[in-house]
């Protein structure tokens, strides 16, 4: 399905433009801060406070050397990278909305990619948590190695959220195609 860029029928008001610019800036800032926060968390994490927050159920006595910290950062960057990509794509959508491109291919694909990034990140997070638990306890004494499987309501909600956004982008694509088709009749 190919989409044509459509012209806005009603340009955004000054207030709407400001809101979309603020949202674009916010998406960019969050996309930059998330990986920095992840790195800061794992570099500064102390084992006693780590297990309940990062990987629930892990033993407190596990060693957390530099190699494990770097490995945890690497594993954590996989779902976060998908989320950051989605945030950068929705940033482009907000910029398009500020320019009045409501049904443009750029705006719609940015929303679609945001949904894909959020959904893929949510889907892969339980797997990454399991790998992280194995990685952090691989050198623990026998009987202390752990495999943590975690699928919570937050994961389910993010997947549902992503599905709703995908449905909305599908509707927007259809509306843009219909508008383009109808404009040819005039």
Kindly state whether residue 57 falls inside one of the protein's structural domains. Answer: yes
Kindly state whether residue 134 falls inside one of the protein's structural domains. Answer: yes
| pLDDT in the model for residue 51 | 54
Which residues does 12 contact at the CB level (< 8 Å), separation at least 6?
Answer: 20, 97, 98, 100
Kindly state whether residue 4 falls inside one of the protein's structural domains. Answer: no
| pLDDT in the model for residue 39 | 93
| pLDDT in the model for residue 6 | 47
| pLDDT in the model for residue 1 | 46
Kindly state whether residue 130 falls inside one of the protein's structural domains. Answer: yes
Kindly state whether residue 156 falls inside one of the protein's structural domains. Answer: yes
Kindly state whether residue 41 falls inside one of the protein's structural domains. Answer: yes
Mean pLDDT by 10 residues, the chain (186 residues): 50 92 97 95 72 58 80 94 97 93 86 95 93 84 76 89 91 80 71
* Long-range contacts, 13-21 (Cβ 8 Å, 24+): 16/97, 16/98, 17/98, 20/94, 20/95, 20/97, 20/98, 21/94, 21/95, 21/98
How many domains are contained in the chain? Answer: 1
Kindly state whether residue 5 falls inside one of the protein's structural domains. Answer: no
- Helix, coil or strand: residue 40: helix
Domain coverage including residue 178: 14-183
Kindly state whether residue 56 falls inside one of the protein's structural domains. Answer: yes
Nearest by Cα to 48 from 37, 61, 65:
61
Question: Distance of CA 183 to CAs 44, 54, 89, Å?
Answer: 58, 53, 28
């Amino acid at each position: 399905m190919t989409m044509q860029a459509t012209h806005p029928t009603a340009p955004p008001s000054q207030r709407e433009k400001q809101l979309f610019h603020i949202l674009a800036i916010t998406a960019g800032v969050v996309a930059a801060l998330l990986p920095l926060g992840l790195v800061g968390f794992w570099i500064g994490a102390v084992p006693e406070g780590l297990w309940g927050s990062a990987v629930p159920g892990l033993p407190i006595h596990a060693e957390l050397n530099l190699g494990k910290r770097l490995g945890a950062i690497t594993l954590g960057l996989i779902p976060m990278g998908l989320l950051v990509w989605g945030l950068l794509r929705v940033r482009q959508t907000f910029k398009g909305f500020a320019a009045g491109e409501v049904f443009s291919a750029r705006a719609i694909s940015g929303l679609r990619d945001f949904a894909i990034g959020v959904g893929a990140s949510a889907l892969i997070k339980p797997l990454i948590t399991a790998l992280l638990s194995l990685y952090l306890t691989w050198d623990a004494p026998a009987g202390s190695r752990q495999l943590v499987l975690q699928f919570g309501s937050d994961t389910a909600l993010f997947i549902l959220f992503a599905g709703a956004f995908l449905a909305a982008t599908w509707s927007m694509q259809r509306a843009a195609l219909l508008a383009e088709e109808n404009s040819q009749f005039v």
